[in-house]
Amino acid sequence: MNADERETPALRRGRRLAVDVGDARIGVASCDPDGILATPVETVPGRDVPAAHRRLRQLVAEYEPIELVVGLPRSLKGGEGPAAAKVRRFAQELARGVAPVPVRLVDERMTTVTATQGLRASGVRSKKGRAVIDQAAAVVILQQALESERVSGRPPGEGVEVVI
């Protein structure tokens, strides 16, 4: 059997939303139902957490995703610090608000760096870039999650259990 005949794991069909949680802003990205192209959606203000959760619930209702993937900030060595704990709490509250749509935490190491480099390469500078960097990071998170599922045949990252 040659490489072309080998079965590749199937990617579940359906739109996904990715969320890049920051202190000031929350980037949101989406993909097409076939998981081919991830695109920016919007930047949600993040300082008012209840308002941010309301807006994210509206986006879930609008896009009808099969799941949400939330970037989990880890250190380069893979450890978790206060930022990861904050994102875990945010994801837990989000999971309660969007149930039964599953929420998954995926490693987001280097996504902001990758997004920043991509924006700079396309001529977007820092002042204007701040408004779109979080969306671009969400796109990178989503692309990595889709690729992980394509390679493994399993949903990416770890599921967030809804605790009532």
Rg of the chain, C-alpha, whole Å: 16
Residue 115: which pLDDT band, with cuts at 50, 70 and 90? low
Residue 120: which pLDDT band, with cuts at 50, 70 and 90? low
Percent share of the chain, pLDDT over 90:
65
CB count, 10 Å around CB of 107? 18
Condensed to tens digits (0 to 9), the pLDDT of residues 19-69 reads: 999 889 999 999 999 999 999 999 999 999 999 999 999 999 999 999 999
Dihedrals phi, psi of 114, to nearest 5 degrees: -60, -45
Which structure tokens are listed for 149? 């599922």
Cα dist from 87 to 9, 18, 23, 62, 64, whole Å: 30, 13, 10, 23, 22
Look at residue 121 and tell me if it is in a domain: yes
DSSP H stretches of helix in 78-121: 82-98, 111-121
Higher pLDDT, 110 or 11: 11
Residue 1 reports pLDDT greater than 50? no
User: Average per-residue pLDDT in the chain?
Assistant: 86
Higher pLDDT, 78 or 37: 37
pLDDT at 154: 94
Structural domains of the chain, count: 1
Dihedrals phi, psi of 81, to nearest 5 degrees: -120, -160
Look at residue 38 and tell me if it is in a domain: yes
Between CA 77 and CA 57 the distance in angstroms is 33
For residues 80-93, average pLDDT: 93
* Residue range of the domain that includes 117: 16-155
Can you say how many angstroms the Cα of residue 5 is from the centroid of all Cα atoms in its chain? 32
- The lowest-confidence range among 71-80, 85-94, 135-144, 154-163 is 71-80
pLDDT at 122: 59
Pairing of strands 158-159, 38-45: unpaired
CATH of the domain at 46: 3.30.420.140
